[in-house]
Structure 1
Amino acid sequence: MADTLRLAFMGTPDFALPTLRALLDAGHQVVCVYTQPPARAGRGHKVQPSPVQQEAESRGIEVRAPESLKDAEAQQAFAALKLDAAVVVAYGLILPQQILEAPRLGCVNVHASLLPRWRGAAPIQRAILAGDGETGVSIMQMDTGLDTGPVLARARTEISPDTDAGQLHDTLAALGARLIAPTLAQLAAGEITAEPQPDKGATYAQKLSKDDRELPWARPAIELERLVRAFAPSPGAVAKLPPAKDAQATADGGPPDGETLKVLRARIAGAAPTGTAPGTVMNAQDFTVATGLGCLQLVRVQRGGKNPMDAEEFLRGTPVKQGTVLP
C-alpha cells in the first residue's frame, strides 16, 4: 500500500465529492478541508454550506471557508498544517504562490478537460457546446496561471451525440476520483514526470452567464441542440414564448404573457421551408421550431415552479399555435 499522505482538500461543489471520498478510502489523512463560504441556494434562498463542507463535517474533518487566501494570516494558517500535498477540485478561489509552495509536494488540481483544451470555469459545458467528440480529466501540478500547470495524469472519455452536461459531469467526477490516488502515490515516490502543457490547442472555457442559456433561433439547429444538452438537466436552456395578444388568449389556455420555458431535451428535426422565419412553430403537436438552419424539436420542457414534462403534454395543457414565432 502507498504511504499515507497528510493532505488538505480544497473544493466546493458536488463534482469534488468523489475525489474527496477516494482520498479517504485510500487511507490518506485529510487534516483540513477548504471550501467556499456558505451561500444562498434553492427556492427559499436559504444559506447552505457547500456539498464539500457537508461531507467533511459528516466525517469529522475540520472545515475552513475563508473569503480569500491572499492575506498573510490565511497563508500562515495553511502553512501550519505542514502538508504533504493539497488536492484541489473546483474550489473557486485563486491560490497565491505562498499557498502553492506550502505543501511538500505542492498543490495538484483535478480539472474536467484534456488540458490545454478548455482551461477555465466551464469546461464541461464548453466541450458540449463546441461539439467535441471527446473530453476527459487532467490532474495538474498547479502554478500561478489559470489551469496552465504541467499535467501529471489524464483520462479520456467519449462525448456521444446524446450526452448532456449532467451525465458528463458524473462521468468526469468518477474519472478524477479513480486517477487521484495512484497519481499521488507516483508523485510521492518520484515516479512521475509532469508534462508541460503546449501552447498549441489551448482554449478558454469562459464562465457561463444567464444569457448563454437562451435559445437564439437564428443559429443552426445543430448548435441549439448542443446548447440544450450543455445546460441539461440544470439550470436548463431557456425558450421564451411570445406575449399573449389579449387576455382572452391566456384565459382560453394559451401561454401566460411572455412565459419562459426550460428546455431539457431536444432533437434535430429536418428542414423548414425556404423563407421560414427562425423561431416559427412548425408543428403545434410536437413543438418543432424552425431555426436558422433546420428545425429543432423540443422534447422535454419545464415551466417555472413545475415538474419537467414531455413537450407534447405541455402543449395539450398550454396550446402554442402553429405559425407562432418565438422571440
Structure 2
Amino acid sequence: MRLAFMGSPDFAVPALRALHGAGHAIVAVYCQPPRPAGRGQREQPCPVHRAALELGLPVRTPTRLRKDTAEHEAFAALGLDAAVVAAYGLILPRPMLDAPRRGCLNIHASLLPRWRGAAPIQAAILAGDAESGVTIMQMEEGLDTGPMLLKGVVPIGPRMTTPELHDALAPLGARLVLEALERDPPAEPQPTDDASYAPKLSKADAPLDWTLPAAVLDRRVRALNPWPGTIFTQAGEAIRVLAAEPAEGAGAPGTVLDEAALVACGEGALRLTRLQRPGRGPLPARDFLRGFPLPPGTVLG
C-alpha cells in the first residue's frame, strides 16, 4: 500500500519499521521537528525521525497543521491508500483525515474507550488496572473517539512500570496495524458510557503526597518514571524516587520510620529503594543514604 506514517516517540518506531519491512510504500514520514536536548541544548531529531532517515524515507516536520492549507494540499497530493498515526503530537484536521482512500488509522496505547488522551500507559498503571492494550482506531475529529478496528490485550503485572508496559505495547501496535491494513476489518463504534481520559502529564505531577495510601504512591512511582518522575523535598533538594515498594509501617505521613528509608503514608508505608539527587547518578537506597542520611523521625516534604 501507499502510506504516510505519522509519529514521533519511541513508541511509534516499531510500527514504522514493521510497515517498511512488510513492503508497504511509505512515501512520507511526518514527525515533530527537531528540538534542543541534552546539556548542550543542541537540536535533536525525534526517534521516528532518526528511524526514517536510517530507512531512507522522506521526512516532513511541520510545526502546525490545523490551518496550514499548503500542508493539506501536499498531503492530499501524496495519493495515499492510508495514513498510520502513532503518538504523532499534532491534531489532524478534517482535510487530512479525509485525504487517504482508507482514511487514517491510529495506534492507541489503551483499550478504548478507556484512557483516551495523551498519557494512556501511565494512566492505566496509576489506576491500578489489571490490563492494558492497543486499539487500532479509524481516526475522526474527536479525541480518540473513532471506531475501533482491532484490539490486543497486555496484562499489567503487580510491579510493572511505564517503560515495561510501553515496551510490551509498542510491538503489539506494530503487529496489529499490519493486520488491520491486510484484513480491513469492520469498524466497531466505541461505547460512550464508560469512556475515561488520560490527561497530559506535567512537572506538577511529580511531588509525592505522603497523605495518600502507600499502594497509590507505589503506582505513582511506577507510572511516572522516567517522566515527569516522582520527587520529595529534603534539605532544599528535590530528590527523585526511582523505585519503591509498599511495606508494613505506620506513622505521621512523610515521616521516615527506620534506617532503610521506610516512609509513613496515609495508609501503610513506602520503602524507597532507588533514589537520585539533582545532578547526581541514581543509587540504590542503601548507597544513597551513606551520602544523604534520612534518619528515623525525618519528615519529608
- For the aligned pair, the TM-score class normalised by the smaller chain equals over 0.9
Q: List alignment gaps of at least 5 residues for structure 1.
A: 244-257
Matched, 1:84 2:59: no
Aligned to 2:246: 268
Of residues 130, 133, 136 in structure 1, which corresponds to 2:130? 133
The alpha carbon displacement at 1:271 in A equals: 2.6
Aligned to 1:252: none
Give distance in 1, aligned partners of 2:17 and 2:169.
15
Aligned to 1:37: 33
Root mean square deviation, CA, Å: 1.0
The alpha carbon displacement at 1:43 in A equals: 3.0
The alpha carbon displacement at 1:201 in A equals: 1.3
How many residue pairs were aligned? Answer: 300
Give distance in 1, aligned partners of 2:44 and 2:73.
28
Aligned to 1:236: 229
Percent sequence identity is: 57
Equivalent AA in structure 1 for residue 37 of structure 2: A
Give distance in 1, aligned partners of 2:298 and 2:286.
16
Matched, 1:101 2:98: yes
- SS in structure 2 opposite 1:154? strand
Matched, 1:213 2:173: no
Of residues 41, 45, 51 in structure 1, which corresponds to 2:47? 51
- SS in structure 2 opposite 1:202? coil
Matched, 1:226 2:223: no
Equivalent AA in structure 2 for residue 30 of structure 1: I
Give distance in 2, aligned partners of 1:44 and 1:281.
38
Aligned to 2:151: 154
Report the TM-score, using the length of structure 1 for normalisation. 0.90
263-272 vs 78-87, greater mean Cα deviation: 263-272
Report the TM-score, using the length of structure 2 for normalisation. 0.97
The alpha carbon displacement at 1:94 in A equals: 0.5
- SS in structure 2 opposite 1:73? helix
2:249–2:257 Cα contact (<8 Å) kept = no
Give distance in 2, aligned partners of 1:143 and 1:52.
23
Give distance in 2, aligned partners of 1:280 and 1:236.
21
2:106–2:138 Cα contact (<8 Å) kept = yes
Q: Is the radius of gyration larger for structure 1 or structure 2?
A: 1
Equivalent AA in structure 1 for residue 96 of structure 2: I
Aligned to 1:289: 263
Give distance in 2, aligned partners of 1:42 and 1:144.
35
1:166–1:234 Cα contact (<8 Å) kept = no
Q: List alignment gaps of at least 5 residues for structure 2.
A: none
Equivalent AA in structure 2 for residue 178 of structure 1: R
Aligned to 1:179: 176
Give distance in 1, aligned partners of 2:16 and 2:240.
32
